[in-house]
A and B are shown apart, each in its own frame.
Chain A
Amino acid sequence: MEQRDVVAGLRQMQVGLCLPLGAEGRLISQQLERLGMPYRQVWPPEMSDLLSVDLVVLALVPEAFIKMDKALLQTLKNKIVVSVLQFESPTVLDLACQLNSSSLLFSPVKPFGVLSAIVLAVNQQKVREDLIKRINKLEGRIESVRIIEQAKRFLMDTSGISDVEAFKIIRNRSMDKRCSVEEVAHSIITAMDALESALGKTSPISSSVKQEPKSKKTGSVIRIK
């Protein structure tokens, strides 16, 4: 199996330690010091303290969250979250899920296990980000296939040429113009659209293409909440 350095980079991360002051907070902060991870302890969590933080170690005290401001919850959710649980009850577990916790620590926390929880959470976040990137890329690719298909169909319908010939025309044009096949296809559709609106008619192709700007923003369609 390929060896990966799972701990490299941890010391460059800013940790927000969101735990009430007390023995548990002290124990975790001392362990973070041993790990060499810079942290700041804030309780209750406040927006201003969290802005520069990458990862939060967060006590899921239900009283502190049940009336929490939505913007603050959203800010917490966008961090890498390691939740510290004292209760294993549905309300608390619901909270852990809502905050998108990537790993858990259990009260009373021991020094053993803190590093593992952090490494797992960082890895989960990386896996998630890679997946999002991949999904965005794939969506972009599907979109480009769709546009090329439509441009091809337009050429085939208007010039009576074959599928292969239509594609050749688009590809040659892209090589001449030094731009992508997708861009050429897009300009064909735009021209077709302009032509048809000037003539005051709508074809099934152009009406479906009119939805195109919406679906072009593929990046915003899939967002991990």
Chain B
Amino acid sequence: MMTVIPVGVLFSQTGATSVIEKTQLHATLLAIESANALLSSHGFEIKPFYVDPQSDPYLFSSMSEKLITEQGVSVIFGCYTSISRKSVVPVVEKHNKLLFYPTLYEGFEFSPNVIYTGACPNQNIIFLAEFMFSMFGKNCYLVGSDYVYPYESNRIMKDMVNGFGGKVLGEQYLSIKASHAEFRPVVEDIAACKPDFIFSTVVGSSTGAFYETYAQAGLQPLTLPIASLTTSEAELASMQAYARADHFTAAPFFASILKHSDLPHLLTLANQTQGVPVNQCWESAYFQVMLFAKALMEAEDTHTDSVLKVLRGMEVDAPQGRVRIDPDNNHCWVYSRIGKSMVDGDFEIVKESKRTVRPDPYLMSYAISAL
């Protein structure tokens, strides 16, 4: 007899960050389909309940509550922004359920009820800073969206720039919905300051506005590129082609891995994702479902405590390579990679760590580590 496992899926289809959340939704549903093929022999079937929280923190909270109390889900896959995660964490903690969170974030959190599958700062920003310092210089201009993730990321970047003898020439925060007009004075200031590179923590739909305004002002990526943690294939796809090329992003995964691989399971995946702007958040959303499926098969039980017990230290073959859940902090061992953006909307990987990097969500000092 088949045991149906209801799970909640919580990604926004509208609002400022829906571009990327839609790709996470796509990955989750695709992974559930693949997982079910494996799970059927164990007598399990995952049944997704999808709801659209419309980028509203209040809806994230109330909808996750409903998924648990009305649909009986024991697991939720979801959330992009930190504020949406913070809205869901108390709910899963209260009911002792699980949240799988597939997004890079600022760290400084541990909940026993959350599995964090995106990169934390020691896995992307340090690698990126080291790369940018050595390739372009240490004088930096910071531009971000106006919320906690950019503040924290910029805090780390500032510490590193200052620690390595560079200068922070400017720091600006704009609304997550900022328009081209709002970016224009920022870009003019950047042109006047002449930094070695720009560190962008602009997220969501305003990313395109920023890169396009940059290109329209005639700034040259070859001498003054934008370095980012959040500009992925999804953001490149949503901007004009002339604005895309020759900038840098640090992430554990780029779509080009999938496109250039000859591993059979990645070839299948590449076929299944034609036309989807596959990106680091897509990938985390994909492999975290695989992790859950594997945990289900091992635990043979859906109770949170049983699933958590087997998830700690569990490894899975993700599209980026083999990753592992850290048994102590519930974050994921992932690769550090630098991609250079290309006009076709993909990234060419220009640097990568030899092995997965241990997650250190409570990173306290920022000495460039031996990766």
Contact = CB atoms under 8 A, between A and B. Distances in A.
B108 A63 contact: no
Interface stretch (A28-36, A74-82, A85-93, A170-178): A85-93
A87 B90 contact: no
Contacts of A108: 90
Given A62-B148, A63-B146, A63-B147, A91 B90 contact: no
B173 interface: yes
Contacts, number: 35
Given A66-B173, A108-B90, A89 B106 contact: yes
Contact of B108 (A66, A87, A107): A87
B193 to A, nearest CB: 20
A90 B109 CA distance: 11
B178 to A, nearest CB: 14
A87 B173 CA distance: 19
A89 B148 contact: yes
Interface of B: 58, 82, 86, 90, 106-109, 146-148, 151-152, 155, 173
Given A66-B151, A92-B148, 19 more contacts: A62-B151, A63-B147, A63-B148, A66-B146, A66-B173, A86-B86, A87-B86, A88-B108, A89-B106, A89-B107, A89-B148, A89-B152, A90-B152, A90-B155, A91-B148, A91-B151, A91-B155, A107-B86, A108-B90
29 contacts: A62-B147, A62-B148, A62-B151, A63-B146, A63-B147, A63-B148, A66-B146, A66-B151, A86-B86, A87-B82, A87-B86, A87-B108, A87-B109, A87-B148, A88-B108, A88-B109, A89-B106, A89-B107, A89-B108, A89-B109, A89-B148, A90-B108, A90-B152, A90-B155, A91-B148, A91-B151, A91-B155, A92-B148, A108-B90
Complex A-B, nearest 4 residue pairs according to Cβ-Cβ distance, in ascending order: A89-B108, A108-B90, A91-B151, A89-B152
Interface of A: 22, 62-63, 66, 86-92, 107-108
